Amino acid sequence: MNPDPEKHMGLIDHLEELRHVIIRVLLGVLVCSVCSLYFSESILQLLMKQAGDIRGQFVILSPTEGFMVQIKLSILSGIVLSVPWTLYAIWSFLAPGLLEHERRYFAQCIPILVLLFLTGVLLAWYMALPMGIRFLLGFQIADVTPQLSIEKYVSFCSSMFLIFGGAFELPVFIVVLNKVGILSLERLYTLRRYNVVFMFILAAILTPPDVVTQTMLAIPLILLFELTVYWIAFTHRRDSDKDT
């Protein structure tokens, strides 16, 4: 079954549709952010607990910092909560140009993408963030008591959550690239030789410059890549068995 010819559009039409998708995504983030603003104080208290023993040593360095912290937290919460809506909006933009079985396949990927994103956020919340904070603050200058700006701490946490959540989407993108023929199974077998090195380099680029958070990101990505290759190999064997 081919895509509906009536749905074929020119470049301007595609750009216009893309603009509508971006607007829908931003509106989704905005609505979720406004709803999260009411809970920003509670979210901040939970976030401060992840800092361990230093949670009583946060300071505010400017009159606007407290306000900006609540805004940043509400935006971060809005981004996380609107992930399902964002993925659905992207799928709705791509769906008209796909075959029927491709639409079903990509629709099935949406809950997996959401699950992987949330898994990455939870890993950052419960493990990478507290361990990374303790490790980084372990390098103290003599006779200097660490006091953290609450805004910088929230920005640090926000980047960690988004980095871990985004990086955990890697398996789905590998599977999609394999499906469309860009990454063959043979090519993936070749890339496995460099899996560990590549993932540690990727983690070093994405995370703060400390060994703990880099390792906390690299190890799951290495395992996810291996599991993804095994899954693709399994599906290829299954499909070949069906054809025989």
Q: What is the largest CA-CA distance in the chain?
A: 74
Q: What is the rounded distance in angstroms from the CA atom of residue 22 to the CA atom of residue 16?
A: 10
Are 118 and 8 in contact, with CB atoms under 8 Å apart?
Answer: no
The whole model's pTM is what?
Answer: 0.81
Q: What is the rounded distance in angstroms from the CA atom of residue 59 to the CA atom of residue 185?
A: 52
Per-residue pLDDT of the chain (244 residues; tens, 9 = 90+): 444 444 455 667 778 888 888 999 999 999 999 999 888 888 888 888 887 776 667 888 888 888 889 999 999 999 989 988 998 888 888 777 777 777 777 778 888 888 999 999 999 998 888 888 888 777 766 666 667 888 888 888 888 899 999 999 999 889 888 887 788 888 888 888 898 999 999 998 988 777 888 899 999 999 999 999 999 888 888 877 666 6
Q: What is the rounded distance in angstroms from the CA atom of residue 233 to the CA atom of residue 227?
A: 10
Phi, psi of 150 (to 5 degrees): -65, -35
Q: Where are the domains of the chain?
A: 7-243
Sorted by sequence, the CB contacts under 8 Å of residue 2 that are 6+ apart come out as: 99
